[in-house]
Chains A and B, each alone.
Chain A
Amino acid sequence: MNEQSKVGAAFVSSLREGSAPEGAEALRHVRKPLPHDSGPKHVQGVAQYIDDIREPEGTLHIAIGQAPKARGRLVSLDVSAVRKTPGVVAVLTIADIPGKNDVSPAFGDDPLFVDSEISFRGQAVFAVVATSRDIARRAVKHAVMEIESEAPSVTVEDALARGETVLPDYSYGRGDVDAVVAAAPHRLQGQFRVGGQEHFYLEGQVAFAIPGEDGDIHVYSSTQHPTEVQHVVARVLDIPDAYVTCETRRMGGGFGGKESQATQWAVTAALAARVTGRPCKIRLDRDDDFILTGKRHDFRCDWRVGFDVEGRIQGYGVDLLARCGYSADLSAGVVDRAMFHADNAYWMPAVHVASKRVKTNTVSNTAFRGFGGPQGMLAIEHVMDQIAWATGQDPLDVRYANFYRPGENVTPYGMEVEETDTLLNLVRTLEETSGYRERRKEIAAFNASSPIMKRGLSLTPVKFGISFTLTHMNQAGALVHVYQDGSVHLNHGGTEMGQGLYIKVAQVVAEEFGIAMERVRITATTTAKVPNTSPTAASSGSDLNGMAAKVAAGAIKKRMIAYAAEAYNVPEAQIEFRDDRVFIGNQSIPFDELVKKCILARVPMSEAGHYKTPKITWDRAKGTGRPFFYFAYGAACSEVIVDTLTGENRVLRTDILHDVGRSLNPAIDIGQIEGGFVQGMGWLTTEELVFSKEGHLLTHAPSTYKIPVASDVPSDFRVALYPNTNREETIYRSKAVGEPPIMLANSVFCALADAIHALDPSKPVLLHAPATPEAILRACEALRGRSMG
């Protein structure tokens, strides 16, 4: 067996382990590593994305006219030359908006088109509608704008100087942190910067609107939030919600970037369709997508900590200063979630978590996988390393010393951590399987004999809260029809962005009816079938929609059982659905036969299911409650090598152990874990967003913004699922998996700092994120007592 097939075999065996049922669980589909439902279509290029939909005759194309300055006032806009360009059919400005000039998700501060105030460079001022995309893009350049510009706020410090924020400051905690820190045996404080991140979904923002009769509009949008697109289209066009349908079959990646920020493009297409009466499509060029849509928030974290001689935290205070961009967008929730993860997995007797949402003249930052959690969590991991360097301990031992434990298990926001043993056992297992202690020794020996190349190692934990922190969003709907031939139409409010939600929910429904997967027809998410949905976000997709679909299928099944019990005069308890048949007492009939009988007996074979998450409460004003239904856990151990002359580096090996409860689909879950880790690794290493002093984004394409490529993935990459059962009654006792793995990459960041630390173990390392070669070399030079400017 060659090396490659060993890796493959290890993967397959890890799937088997992960899927092994603990009890006698006779499941046919759930827990099976089924491939993504669209896999065969993806590989043949026949999976349809919005730009692939066959265009009706007369379809028009849209390009956005952008503000050339980051801050100022639009004095005049002359689009006459644009209008005269051959092929241009319409130029849309603020004057064309029938309803409200607002595409914001909540706070009313995101105009579709600039009124007079220009808030960031690239902001939409007008839109050109033309017979081809090429004509529209070229025509944009003919507009003349007169602008009174002023110096923009670009950095956190710029915003602090102006005192501008997008939302009020917020904080909570317990005890008098400053007094506790002052009295502690050891004290440290510092300022730590965490960079932002561009989503770089491979399919850029795209929407296609088709006008119907009576002012109806059908919008195809690459969005994680069809309901919001529907509502905002109605708001801007000044028509009832019921006149708008938003449909999303699949996205070519979302990662949070299409939660609130797909809306503007869908609305633009809808407005163009309304004005021209023709089908209209907008697909942002990649550079425009970078410039016009928000990113992960970058943070400045000002922290202070007091601890005892063993490194146990006595008091921790952190001010999280988030650069929100020009508007609130989702910054309320994003920064709250950063606060909710400021403790990560560690008990803090006295704690104060404060936040400031600063306003800058840059694109409005938005949701990104982890939703602020990663930033808050990285800060405390950085502090753990600082404590280790100050006390001369192994950083892993400092982490152990601070883990939540029975009796010391209440978070800074008053929620009890009920599962303290899960993380401890998980980390202990990983410490063992990764050979952490032996490798620590090997690395020390290597570093002692290698003056230029240094290796580093780190094992970091993840505890991530699952639920929307806005309680009302924790609900979902599904619609299930069973047809006379035994085929099942499945629809729910969740959207498919590659994460495998559709297949997981289909597994649940097929399981419920005891039928083959082939009978379940997965259909596109649409507001016309399931209304008033939450975005597919917060890792909640399968938790919420899986449950809603189970409720719907279960209700139909219950009616079928009731019918069969009566028709066959058999107790309901003796009726069972499996193997595409229904077992009724001592006999069985094919599933579709019972379906036909039910229809003849006038049993309704369609059901809308609804689910709302139990147990959760959150009193934001008091800063206390149980915002999360449960926590997902994981840990990663990474080893890196650093060239201390250039800052170049490489991850040599990563071991991951992650808790998905009892997996619905271990192959999909492994995919989320590996993909999330690599995406997180990119965020913390090569992905750097650079803005000029004038507020121009300088890294606005893959040529300048570097996400990981295949060779960046650790060549030794060992991923396993931690055998666990969700103590809460989730769908088949699984746990959410979308976001938590991002933070497994903290191990890479901390390992890089560990490698730098080897240059001079008597000094602490100041490494900011992202740890680009430049950031690493700067930290190296500082340890050598030189400044790199």
Chain B
Amino acid sequence: MARDAIRFWRNGQPIEVSGFHPRTTLLDYLRLQERRVGTKEGCAEGDCGACTVALGRIRDGRVQYEPINACILLLGQVDGAEVVTVEDLAQGSDLHPVQSAMVAHHGSQCGFCTPGIVMSLFTLYHQDAERRLSREHVNDVLAGNLCRCTGYRPIVDAALEACAGAPQDTFAQASETTIRGLTELADEQDLFIGNEARFFAAPASEASLATLYAQHPDATLVAGCTDVGLWITKGMAELDRMIWLGRVAGLDRIEDGTDALTIGATVTHAQAYAGLQNIDPDLGELMRRFGSAQVRASGTVGGNIANGSPIGDLAPALIALDATLELRRGESTRNIPLEDFFIAYRKQDRLPGEFVRSIKVPKLKGHEAFRAYKVSKRFDEDISAVMGAFRFALDGRKIVQARIAFGGMAGIPKRASETEAALIGVSLDEPASWGDAMAAVARDYQPLDDHRASAAYRATVARNLVFKALSETASGATRPTRIVGQRETLAAAE
């Protein structure tokens, strides 16, 4: 028997909610139902962070708080979690350490982004005590919180002061109670709210999911809802039948094998970060710049692939690494190379009722070099104008095989086959011989003009990235060729 209400933890109490429309967002629930209006709507598309709240879940035996954009999170997705909003932090007239630091450092002006910023900093406050607090890390935590007044400097100062020590707030004190509460909420029951015509469902097992989706192949599958959320708030899509994957046991698994990293369909970007970073620092940097902390905490690698964004900041890198996709429909499963999954603009090789189970990313071999570049208007929380990923197999200083994929250069993330061919046999020590490959990119793609960049810019950047990838592979260093990145930083840390 399926459960017909969601249950979450709030202010030390379990809350049960049922009978809501499947597309109800957490933000609308907070503002219109609870009538707690501290959490603001700034953009309704998960980009400004004014609606940031914290969700607490048990990870590694303790409560981990993650920032979430409430504007594009479905209410149903908080099932099993603790929901913390800006109103919950102060105890009477005693401000939370993050709040008092914000006041003392003049961290608010108009104040509209402030609740979201306070909540992002609340999650920072509760991060691993061993973390090394740096301005750069605080900037990463705040990348998804736009402030138009302060210029951020006082906010970062407040964060550095408030989050310097071990967490001692009431949430830290109540953690045992919270763990008990969250543990009691966890069950292995399927969740189904509504009826055949209109429902929010969250199956607890892969078998239930396969059955339910086979019955309702036109239902909308939701993993993190960082894209589907916009169909609701901006596209005003009806979306009467929603299946959330977040409770399906096993889909959240990461298998770190010797030759490959296998990422389950519901693994969030935040969870996949470390594994991908271990494959190559450029993948780590790509993940660091993927959306924002809020987007990485709810968005999933599988969802990013499955919805087939033409940009897909991650897909070109995974194609260059020759990743494969495992799909399941009913009882049958199949594996396909990721590059074959993308057919045309927003069209994927996915059958009705079929869902992504996992993505398998091969690790680099000793003679292989990898480079990935995301070129965007703004470094953080932006989508690439051009995304280029390169994997070279080397024999000494000679390229024997090249696997290159670009995003933003066509309707889908796509291989640069002419460029790859032109690189075979090229020597890293003879830059004069790179010209053919650089010219070949122009034959691989006919990029578009749009609001992110012109076709001419994209073509020029793609050509220059070929040069950059070759120079860096030749010299081993990125300092003279990059403004941001973590190759040297990580190497130095080791």
If A35-B104, A43-B102 touch, does A253 touch B112 (CB 8 Å cutoff)?
yes
Q: How far is the CB of B307 from chain A (nearest CB, A)?
A: 15
Q: Could you tell me if A39 and B86 are in contact, using CB atoms closer than 8 angstroms?
A: no
Binding site for B on A (CB under 8 A): 3-5, 7-8, 11, 33, 35-36, 38-47, 49, 51-52, 54, 137-138, 141, 199-204, 250-255, 285-287, 450-453, 497-500, 641, 643, 645-650, 667-668, 670-671, 674-679, 686, 688, 690, 698-699, 701-704, 706-713, 715, 717, 772-774, 777-778, 781, 788-789
Q: How far is the CB of B70 from chain A (nearest CB, A)?
A: 12
Closest to A641 in B: B483
Q: Could you tell me if B464 and A704 are in contact, using CB atoms closer than 8 angstroms?
A: no
A167 to B377 CA separation, bound complex (whole angstroms):
35
Contact of B43 among A4, A8, A677, A702 (CB under 8 A): A702
B324 contacts A by Cβ under 8 Å: no
Q: How far is the CB of A222 from chain B (nearest CB, A)?
A: 10
Render B421-460 as a binary contact track against A, CB cut-off 8 A, 1 for contact: 0000000000000000000000000000011111111001
Contact of A286 among B45, B136, B452 (CB under 8 A): B45
**Across chains A and B, which 9 residue pairs bring their CB atoms closest together, nearest first?**
A45-B38, A498-B110, A252-B112, A789-B456, A42-B111, A678-B151, A498-B109, A45-B86, A702-B47
Q: Could you tell me if B99 and A44 are in contact, using CB atoms closer than 8 angstroms?
A: yes
If A648-B375, A686-B377, A710-B143 touch, does A704 touch B40 (CB 8 Å cutoff)?
no
A699 to B452 CA separation, bound complex (whole angstroms):
9
A424 to B89 CA separation, bound complex (whole angstroms):
49
Q: Could you tell me if B151 and A713 are in contact, using CB atoms closer than 8 angstroms?
A: yes
Interchain Cβ contacts under 8 Å between A and B, 18 examples: A8-B105, A8-B160, A44-B38, A49-B40, A52-B37, A137-B236, A203-B40, A252-B110, A641-B483, A650-B379, A678-B151, A698-B451, A702-B42, A703-B45, A709-B145, A709-B146, A713-B151, A789-B454
Residues of B within 8 A of A641 (CB): 483
Contact of A8 among B35, B157, B483 (CB under 8 A): B157
Render B456-473 as a binary contact track against A, CB cut-off 8 A, 1 for contact: 110011001101100000
Q: How far is the CB of B454 from chain A (nearest CB, A)?
A: 6
Q: Could you tell me if A701 and B157 are in contact, using CB atoms closer than 8 angstroms?
A: no
Contact of B481 among A7, A138, A645 (CB under 8 A): A645
B20 contacts A by Cβ under 8 Å: no
Residues of B within 8 A of A38 (CB): 108, 111
Further pairs besides A500-B109, A701-B47: 10, Cβ < 8 Å: A33-B106, A43-B98, A45-B85, A45-B118, A138-B236, A286-B43, A452-B468, A643-B483, A707-B146, A788-B456
Q: Could you tell me if B143 and A709 are in contact, using CB atoms closer than 8 angstroms?
A: yes
Q: Could you tell me if A203 and B483 are in contact, using CB atoms closer than 8 angstroms?
A: no
A198 to B62 CA separation, bound complex (whole angstroms):
43
A563 to B156 CA separation, bound complex (whole angstroms):
52
If A44-B89, A51-B37, A701-B43 touch, does A450 touch B148 (CB 8 Å cutoff)?
no
Q: How far is the CB of A293 from chain B (nearest CB, A)?
A: 15
B234 contacts A by Cβ under 8 Å: yes
Residues of A within 8 A of B154 (CB): 671, 674
Residues of A within 8 A of B37 (CB): 45, 51-52
B169 contacts A by Cβ under 8 Å: no
Q: Could you tell me if B110 and A497 are in contact, using CB atoms closer than 8 angstroms?
A: yes
Q: Could you tell me if A203 and B110 are in contact, using CB atoms closer than 8 angstroms?
A: yes
B161 contacts A by Cβ under 8 Å: yes
Contact of B378 among A3, A137, A452, A709 (CB under 8 A): A709
A679 to B151 CA separation, bound complex (whole angstroms):
7
Residues of A within 8 A of B86 (CB): 43-45
| Tally of A-B Cβ pairs under 8 angstroms | 278
Q: How far is the CB of A644 from chain B (nearest CB, A)?
A: 9
B90 contacts A by Cβ under 8 Å: yes
Q: Could you tell me if A707 and B148 are in contact, using CB atoms closer than 8 angstroms?
A: yes
Residues of B within 8 A of A8 (CB): 105, 157, 160-161
Q: Which residues of B (32-68) have their CB < 8 Å from a CB of A?
A: 35-45, 47-48, 50
Q: Could you tell me if B112 and A45 are in contact, using CB atoms closer than 8 angstroms?
A: no
Interface size class of chain B, counting residues whose CB lies under 8 Å from the partner chain:
35 or more
Residues of B within 8 A of A688 (CB): 377, 451
Contact of B480 among A453, A498, A781 (CB under 8 A): A453
A253 to B40 CA separation, bound complex (whole angstroms):
13
B346 contacts A by Cβ under 8 Å: no
Q: Could you tell me if B149 and A253 are in contact, using CB atoms closer than 8 angstroms?
A: yes
Q: Could you tell me if B480 and A645 are in contact, using CB atoms closer than 8 angstroms?
A: no
If A8-B161, A713-B152 touch, does A252 touch B47 (CB 8 Å cutoff)?
no
Residues of B within 8 A of A774 (CB): 385, 453-454, 457
Q: Could you tell me if A645 and B109 are in contact, using CB atoms closer than 8 angstroms?
A: no
B114 contacts A by Cβ under 8 Å: yes
Residues of B within 8 A of A47 (CB): 111
Q: Could you tell me if B380 and A709 are in contact, using CB atoms closer than 8 angstroms?
A: yes
Q: Could you tell me if A498 and B104 are in contact, using CB atoms closer than 8 angstroms?
A: no
Binding site for A on B (CB under 8 A): 35-45, 47-48, 50, 85-87, 89-90, 95, 98-100, 102-115, 118, 133, 135-136, 138-140, 142-143, 145-157, 160-161, 233-234, 236, 373, 375-383, 385, 450-457, 460-461, 464-465, 467-468, 480-484
A421 to B142 CA separation, bound complex (whole angstroms):
42
Residues of B within 8 A of A649 (CB): 483
Residues of A within 8 A of B157 (CB): 4, 7-8, 11
Residues of B within 8 A of A675 (CB): 109, 148-151
Residues of A within 8 A of B381 (CB): 709
If A453-B480, A646-B465, A702-B43 touch, does A781 touch B460 (CB 8 Å cutoff)?
yes
Contact of B113 among A202, A285, A450 (CB under 8 A): A202
Closest to A4 in B: B160
A286 to B112 CA separation, bound complex (whole angstroms):
14
A200 to B148 CA separation, bound complex (whole angstroms):
7
Q: How far is the CB of B472 from chain A (nearest CB, A)?
A: 10
Q: Could you tell me if B377 and A710 are in contact, using CB atoms closer than 8 angstroms?
A: no
Q: Could you tell me if A788 and B460 are in contact, using CB atoms closer than 8 angstroms?
A: yes
A713 to B47 CA separation, bound complex (whole angstroms):
18
Q: Could you tell me if A36 and B160 are in contact, using CB atoms closer than 8 angstroms?
A: no
Q: Could you tell me if B103 and A43 are in contact, using CB atoms closer than 8 angstroms?
A: yes
If A4-B135, A286-B44 touch, does A645 touch B378 (CB 8 Å cutoff)?
no
A322 to B14 CA separation, bound complex (whole angstroms):
59
Q: Could you tell me if A704 and B114 are in contact, using CB atoms closer than 8 angstroms?
A: no
Q: Could you tell me if A255 and B148 are in contact, using CB atoms closer than 8 angstroms?
A: yes
A122 to B19 CA separation, bound complex (whole angstroms):
36
Closest to A285 in B: B44
Q: Could you tell me if B109 and A671 are in contact, using CB atoms closer than 8 angstroms?
A: yes
Contact of A253 among B106, B115, B145, B148 (CB under 8 A): B148
Q: How far is the CB of B106 from chain A (nearest CB, A)?
A: 5
A706 to B144 CA separation, bound complex (whole angstroms):
12
Closest to A789 in B: B456
A699 to B385 CA separation, bound complex (whole angstroms):
14
If A40-B103, A42-B111 touch, does A777 touch B457 (CB 8 Å cutoff)?
yes
The winner among B90, B140, B156, B480 for most chain A CB atoms within 10 A is B156
Q: Could you tell me if B153 and A717 are in contact, using CB atoms closer than 8 angstroms?
A: yes
Residues of A within 8 A of B467 (CB): 645
Contact of B110 among A250, A286, A709, A712 (CB under 8 A): A250
Residues of B within 8 A of A39 (CB): 102-103, 106, 108, 111
If A702-B45, A711-B140 touch, does A44 touch B95 (CB 8 Å cutoff)?
yes
Residues of B within 8 A of A200 (CB): 146, 148
Closest to A778 in B: B457
Contact of A35 among B39, B98, B103 (CB under 8 A): B103
A253 to B146 CA separation, bound complex (whole angstroms):
12
Q: How far is the CB of A776 from chain B (nearest CB, A)?
A: 10
A52 to B37 CA separation, bound complex (whole angstroms):
6
Q: Could you tell me if A42 and B114 are in contact, using CB atoms closer than 8 angstroms?
A: yes
If A701-B45, A704-B452, A777-B457 touch, does A709 touch B142 (CB 8 Å cutoff)?
yes
A260 to B424 CA separation, bound complex (whole angstroms):
62
A646 to B463 CA separation, bound complex (whole angstroms):
10
Residues of A within 8 A of B45 (CB): 286, 701-703
Q: Could you tell me if A43 and B450 are in contact, using CB atoms closer than 8 angstroms?
A: no
A36 to B450 CA separation, bound complex (whole angstroms):
42
If A202-B48, A498-B109, A645-B481 touch, does A702 touch B375 (CB 8 Å cutoff)?
no
